[in-house]
Amino acid sequence: MHRLAALVLRLLGWQSVYTPPPGPKSVVLVYPHTSNWDFPLGVLFKAKHRVSINWAGKDTLFRWPLKGLLLWLGGVPINRRERSGTIRQLVDAFGRSESVCMCITPEGTRAHVDHWKTGFYQLALAVDAPLGLGFIDYGRKRIGIERWVRLSGDEARDLALFRDYYADKTGHYPENAGAIRFRDRRAP
């Protein structure tokens, strides 16, 4: 399977880079996320590098006939109607597993947003996990996780690091890339 995935990526003109996480539990931020093609490219990346990467999806997606396939692809169903919240459910999933790598797109959608959601940030801090800086760069046809960081907890400092790292990464639809900032919590 990994050879086939490597061949398909190469035939499509894509290069990949993978630096393994420094420990058994990690969170991966993937930015920019602007196209439905991001998912199949991510699946090819996973297969090529033989990595087990999970991703969270709303539990209503995990129904017959897709449930088995989505679980096999690393999906983790999240009940967004539950009061405990998405992050609590993911923290619990980390607690139940000896090894987990959770991939999260901070925009939460392929459409343009004016800020990132903070779930990946809250999760990495809550479980004290390294954060992988993942990307799908359509401008240079590169996909990967090439750098791991520890969040400082200082949002301004960490956001500056993200802005610097992702400055040269281009989504399939660049105009849909979300602004690298968190929502101003002081706003009504």
Average pLDDT of 5-27? 97
Alpha-carbon span 176 to 166, nearest angstrom: 14
Report residue 180 as tokens. Answer: 């690298």
- Token pair listed for 127: 């479980």
| Percent of the chain scoring above 90 in pLDDT | 80
> pLDDT tens digit string along 103-122?
999 987 888 888 999 999 99
Of the given ranges (37-41, 67-71, 82-86), which has the lowest mean pLDDT?
82-86
Taking only the tens place, the pLDDT of each residue in 127-176 is 999 999 999 999 999 999 999 999 999 999 999 999 999 999 999 999 99
Query: Nearest CA to 58 among 85, 75, 77, 72?
Result: 77
**How confident is the model at residue 84, as a pLDDT?**
66
Q: What is the mean pLDDT of the chain?
A: 93
* Degrees, nearest 5: CA angle 72-50-108: 60
Does the model's pTM come out above 0.85? yes
Backbone φ and ψ for 42, nearest 5 degrees, come out as: -65, -40
* Residue 187 in this model has a pLDDT that exceeds 90: no
Q: Give CA 160 to chain center in angstroms.
A: 19
Report the alpha-carbon distance of residue 134 to residue 147 in Å, rounded. 8
Q: Which domains does the chain have, with CATH numbers?
A: 2-175 (3.40.50)
